[in-house]
Amino acid sequence: MSHVYPPVTPCHDAFVLPYAAYLRVYEPLCAFPGPEARRWAMYAASPDRPRWAGALAAEQADALRRLVSVPQVMAPEWESGDAYVRRADGVTYICPWQTRLRSWLRLPRLRVTAPRLCPAATAAAAPTRTLVYATAMAQARGRLRRALAAFRRAGAPLTAAILADDAGPRVVNELRQIESWLAEFHPDALVELDYGGLVHLLDDKALRADQSVAEVSAAINALTSGELEMATAMYWRVTGRWRALAALGQAS
């Protein structure tokens, strides 16, 4: 069970850090077995652990060291003992890095994408700005159910009219995969969307003005209420912006 979706390989991390986002699950200490919970509690209290602001950069630096080693190390020999830590309302939440697990899970896709990604290796850099959304697991699951229900009620013809080409089945399949993934975690967990290196594609004004999450929510609400024009406008507003940014990232 990976706490980061989708699982990211060291090679993928090192090459596309400036243009990668992360969806993470933080579980409360009570979700872990006794000895593991005690270990994570001690880790969270340690002054030497990587802090949230520098944790992603530290993880990426480790990935890059393994990438440039000879021979290249696609996955660490041992699982990482580090984690992202959150505290809310007196509760400590843990999201283990699970670098080794994520590396092996991502390896099949890496073999396909690595030739295209490798030229960008020198672009790896620690992000200096962040944009993070966090919500309770119950809310995240509820929003996924609502989105899937909206697509089912709309039906294939209407969905195709909004999404165009063959995106409808792909979007529904990805939503189902995320729903299945979230079902594996403690019901009191937290879900975090971290823009990560995507902030490198936005200046300060654009980052502050980004309304992608609200626009996706508006598109789902409009689809639920049968407002086809609004759903279409919101969907293309989001995808148009991010397709342009994706093209910029691939060209860098």
Q: What burial class does residue 140 get, using C-beta atoms within 10 Å of its C-beta: 0-12 exposed, 13-18 middle, 19+ buried?
A: buried
pLDDT of the residue at 7 = 42
Nearest residue to 186 (alpha-carbon basis) of 74, 91, 71, 48: 91
C-alpha triplet 106, 24, 148: angle, nearest 5°: 90
Interval 6-54: pLDDT, tens: 643 333 333 334 457 889 999 999 999 999 999 999 999 999 888 877 7
Q: Is the pTM of this model over 0.85?
A: no
Question: Is the domain of 96 the same as that of 148?
Answer: no
Tell which of 131, 153, 168 closes a domain: 131
Residue 205 is assigned to a structural domain of this protein: no
Sequence-distant (6+) residues with CB within 8 A of 182 are 25, 137, 140, 141, 144, 191
Residue 203 is assigned to a structural domain of this protein: no
Q: Tell me: pLDDT of 99 over 90.
A: no
Higher-confidence residue of 144 and 165: namely: 144
4 token code pair: 């980061």
pLDDT of the residue at 115 = 40
CA distances from 192 to 31, 180, 211 (A): 17, 17, 16
Q: What burial class does residue 241 get, using C-beta atoms within 10 Å of its C-beta: 0-12 exposed, 13-18 middle, 19+ buried?
A: middle
Question: Is the domain of 167 the same as that of 52?
Answer: no
pLDDT of the residue at 154 = 75
Question: Is the domain of 237 the same as that of 155?
Answer: yes
Residue 199 is assigned to a structural domain of this protein: no
pLDDT of the residue at 226 = 84
- Residue range of the domain that includes 184: 138-194+211-252
Question: Is the domain of 78 the same as that of 115?
Answer: yes
Q: Tell me: pLDDT of 93 over 90.
A: yes
Whole-angstrom Cα distance, residue 125 to residue 156? 42
Phi, psi of 74 (to 5 degrees): -75, -25
Question: Is the domain of 3 the same as that of 120?
Answer: yes
Question: Is the domain of 149 the same as that of 238?
Answer: yes
Question: Is the domain of 112 the same as that of 145?
Answer: no
Tell which of 131, 152, 171 closes a domain: 131
Question: Is the domain of 77 the same as that of 142?
Answer: no
Question: Is the domain of 114 the same as that of 160?
Answer: no
